[in-house]
Amino acid sequence: KAGVTQTPRYLIKTRGQQVTLSCSPISGHRSVSWYQQTPGQGLQFLFEYFSETQRNKGNFPGRFSGRQFSNSRSEMNVSTLELGDSALYLCASSLASGGATDTQYFGPGTRLTVL
Amino acid sequence: GESVGLHLPTLSVQEGDNSIINCAYSNSASDYFIWYKQESGKGPQFIIDIRSNMDKRQGQRVTVLLNKTVKHLSLQIAATQPGDSAVYFCAEPRTPYSGNTPLVFGKGTRLSVIA
């Protein structure tokens, strides 16, 4: 079974631009979560989507948004990029089998650099 | 607040020796833990998990021990190899409907294997 895939793998943008990252979950997985990873802050939760609805949200400004499509694929968008948005953005998927704690499987990440 | 943390930020071991990576948690109600391995430039990779009804779980060259009395878990890697060099995270999945982040991570321990 194919793992979680993320595109693009690398991205360079300038301040003020916006960016869209894409994630395809493992087949059959219904939940997609996004995380930001930086050396200083570690892994920080952005949001989680399940059945095209945002189920949980972390402590990030409104410039960070996302969505999930009917095939469970997800996108996240960052508008008005700031230098501090430079990070590895990770997507994780899980079965979301019914409320029990669930194992999340991660994609390779998208490395975003903001100049 | 509740957290999942690591005791040591770095660990260096000789190739062939056993490695032990520790993790403490604060929520006594926590019932499921996962260890992830993250190599440079890649997303976290699932290694092994353990539920609170177990004290020990073994995989291929890896063993996770859970001590609920002192709220501590450890990852033991037998016969450490250069390919084991990575950052190791303990993580706690949270019930998705609780409004919590779905996965709480510790900051990670960097394992370096000396050939």
pLDDT tens track for A48-59:
999 899 988 888
Find the Cα–Cα–Cα–Cα dihedral A56, A59, A65, A68, rounded to 10°: -20
- Note whether A106 contacts B100, CB cutoff 8 Å: no
CA distances to A41, A83, A109, B36, B93 from B43, rounded to whole Å, are 16, 22, 6, 9, 17
- Residue B82 distance to chain A (closest CA, Å): 21
Q: Which of residues 72-101 of A touch B (CB under 8 A)?
A: 90, 92, 94, 96, 99-101
Please choose, from the candidates A71, A32, A73, the residue with its C-alpha nearest in 3D space to the C-alpha of residue A54: A32
Q: How far apart are the C-alpha atoms of A103 and B5, rounded to whole Å?
A: 19
Residues of B with CB under 8 A from a CB of A: 31-32, 34, 36, 41-46, 49, 89, 93-97, 99-103, 105, 107-108
Mean of the per-residue pLDDT values of chain B: 87
Output the pLDDT for position B2.
42
Please name the residues in contact with B59: beta carbons below 8 A apart, sequence gap of 6 or more.
Answer: B47, B48
Please name the residues in contact with B86: beta carbons below 8 A apart, sequence gap of 6 or more.
Answer: B37, B38, B39, B40, B110, B111
Q: Which of residues 57-76 of A touch B (CB under 8 A)?
A: 58
pLDDT(A100) > 50: yes
- Note whether B94 contacts A101, CB cutoff 8 Å: yes
pLDDT tens track for A15-72:
999 999 999 999 999 999 999 998 877 888 999 999 899 988 888 999 999 999 999 9
Output the pLDDT for position A22.
98
Owner of token pair 């409907």: B97
- Residue B99 distance to chain A (closest CA, Å): 6
Beta bridge mates, B104: B92
- Residue B104 distance to chain A (closest CA, Å): 8
Quick one: pLDDT band at residue A101, thresholds 50, 70, 90? low
- Note whether A42 contacts B105, CB cutoff 8 Å: yes
Q: How far apart are the C-alpha atoms of B33 and A103, rounded to whole Å?
A: 9
